[in-house]
Amino acid sequence: MSADPLFTRIFILGSGPAGLTAAIYAARAGLSPIVAQGLQPGGQLTITTDVENFPGFREPVQGPWLMEQMQAQAENVGARLVWDVITSVDLSKRPFRLTGDGGQIYLADALVISTGAQARWLGLQSETALRGKGISACATCDGFFFRGKKVAVIGGGNTAVEEALYLTNHSPEVTLIHRRDSLRAEKILQRRLLANPAIRIQWNSVVSEFIAGGDSALAAIELENTKTGALSRLEVEGAFIAIGHKPATDLFQGHIKLDNEGYIEVIPGTTHTSVEGVFACGDVMDKHYRQAVTAAGTGCMAALDAERFLGEIDFK
């Protein structure tokens, strides 16, 4: 038998930097938020090692440690974190109704969605084995660790091109590996890419294997030519997979407006979604920046937007 419904003024779905920042602000506003932590409490940072770009720390900190601090901070100021995975939502009327996988019902006057996004990976076993040992899905986060080393970027979209350009700040030679002979990225980015002498493009190529060196870190990539099937070897110490992200929005299909790539649409400059009283923050609504600090920033915005919304409905 499931427990009685739990009522909260504000429910936060997702516990990465966006959700926990929203929780800290909502709790400090006296709204006693409930935060459903989801399948990966703490979000993407819990599978990261060194974090060097989150302000406030002189030395690099570990991703899991940073998230533990945010969780403890949210709880200390009054947020209630629950180990639950929401499996269905009804946003057609208020209070919104959410159901956890054990049957617990939550009723909320306002909802903050911060379910994040997952990087897409190529799916090779050697890729999984070398993640964090030369293979990353975020050049802005990890490019700095490959200063002076040869690196590769896999993909042909805006992200891949931006990451390749960014990496030339640190690396003498960046190879962009793309499976076709033309890029999907915007023309202006393509022009910048082609004009950059530190970037080489390996067209019509896919990764068939990532190869570890003596130190068990990435040393080379085996490439397969998609036209000829010929194999070649590229010596690199860093590889950045930039083949897109998948926002975690399956739950909201048909309930809330999503764009054609599945990201939640918000009114620009705010976190308001197409449903009054539902707010979105972090990577689930941001395909451009995808940083812990920007997620935290939009989490703050979502809590402030929700607080204002709740203030308004109280006086209606």
Comparison of 144 and 166: residue with beta carbon closer to ligand NAP: 166
Amino acid identity, position 27: A
Least separation in angstroms between residue 313's CB and ligand NAP is: 34
Least separation in angstroms between residue 261's CB and ligand NAP is: 6
Question: What is the phi/psi pair of residue 294, to 5°?
Answer: -75, -35
**C-alpha to C-alpha distance for 286 and 280, rounded to whole angstroms:** 9
Least separation in angstroms between residue 251's CB and ligand NAP is: 21
Comparison of 14 and 247: residue with beta carbon closer to ligand NAP: 247
Comparison of 112 and 117: residue with beta carbon closer to ligand NAP: 117
Residue 28: HSE in the Cβ half-sphere, 13 Å Cα cutoff: 11
Comparison of 33 and 282: residue with beta carbon closer to ligand NAP: 282
Decide the pairing of beta strands 96-100 and 86-90.
Answer: antiparallel
Least separation in angstroms between residue 182's CB and ligand NAP is: 8
Comparison of 215 and 261: residue with beta carbon closer to ligand NAP: 261
Task: Specify whether the CB–CB gap between 81 and 248 falls below 8 A.
Answer: no
Comparison of 127 and 307: residue with beta carbon closer to ligand NAP: 127
Q: Which residue is nearest to ligand NAP (CB)?
A: 157
> Interface with ligand NAP by CB under 6 A: which residues?
122, 154-160, 162, 179-180, 184, 206, 242-245, 261, 287-288
State both tokens at 178. 């793309």
Among all residues, which ones are annotated catalytic? 138, 141-142
Least separation in angstroms between residue 259's CB and ligand NAP is: 8
CA angle 49, 50, 51 (to 5 degrees): 115
Least separation in angstroms between residue 153's CB and ligand NAP is: 10
